[in-house]
């Protein structure tokens, strides 16, 4: 006997597709220029982006809203991005957190992963790599989106 129900489910799963407009991102960054660039890039691709200028504001926002992804600067006034991420992950371990950092040195990846970061991207951001990471952690399908090649964002290191 043919399992019609299961066939039906197969068809349904094929038609499911996560698009950027379903995704809410929290960008934690104290540098207004960096903040603006990331917000512009993500909203241009359809994401909803909220912002926090330090760890304290980030934690407040996460307690009020459900985010699908957090982008975390490391050097922040007050609690730094590593400590903020430890606090967030202790309570909300399923929200992916990506470090946006100039600390792309040997050993740092381990330090970030130990703190609970899911991944990191180095500044200055390479737009295509950055968007690929966003795709990986949000499951957004870029199939119909033209990604820029070798385009850098001028992001300062603070
Ligand atoms: Mn900073």
Distance from Cα 142 to the centre of ligand 1, integer Å: 29
Q: Report residue 72: phi and psi, to 5°.
A: -125, 115
Confidence grade of residue 7 (pLDDT, cut at 50, 70, 90): low
Give the chain's length.
Answer: 158
Confidence of residue 4 (pLDDT cuts 50, 70, 90): low
Find the 12 Cα to ligand 1 centroid distance in Å. Answer: 43
**Distance of CA 139 from the midpoint of ligand 1 (Å):** 27
Cα 5 to its chain centre, rounded Å, is 36
Strand, coil or helix: 119: strand
Check whether 22 has a pLDDT greater than 50: yes
CA of 50 to the centre of ligand 1 (A): 17
Token pair listed for 47: 């994401």
- pLDDT at position 13 is 47
126 Cα–ligand 1 center, Å? 18
**Which two three-digit tokens encode residue 46?**
């359809």
Q: Give the domains, in start order, of the chain with CATH numbers.
A: 20-138 (3.40.50.2300)
Give the whole-angstrom CA distance, residue 76 versus residue 103.
13
**pLDDT per residue as tens digits for the range 70-118:** 999 999 999 999 999 999 999 999 999 999 988 566 677 788 888 899 9
């Amino acid at each position: 006997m043919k399992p019609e129900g299961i066939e039906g489910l197969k068809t349904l799963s094929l038609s499911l597709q996560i698009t950027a407009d379903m995704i809410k991102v929290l960008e934690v960054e104290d540098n207004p220029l960096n903040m603006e660039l990331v917000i512009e890039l993500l909203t241009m691709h359809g994401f909803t982006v909220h912002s926090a200028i330090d760890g304290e504001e980030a934690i407040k926002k996460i307690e009020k809203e459900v985010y699908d992804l957090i982008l975390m600067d490391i050097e922040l006034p007050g609690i730094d991005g590593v400590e903020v991420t430890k606090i967030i992950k202790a309570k909300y371990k399923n929200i992916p957190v990506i470090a946006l950092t100039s600390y792309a040195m040997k050993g740092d990846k381990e330090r970030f992963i130990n703190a609970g970061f899911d991944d990191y991207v180095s500044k200055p951001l390479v737009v295509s790599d950055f968007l690929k990471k966003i795709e990986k952690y949000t499951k957004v399908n870029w199939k119909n989106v033209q990604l820029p090649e070798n385009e850098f964002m001028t992001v300062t290191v603070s």
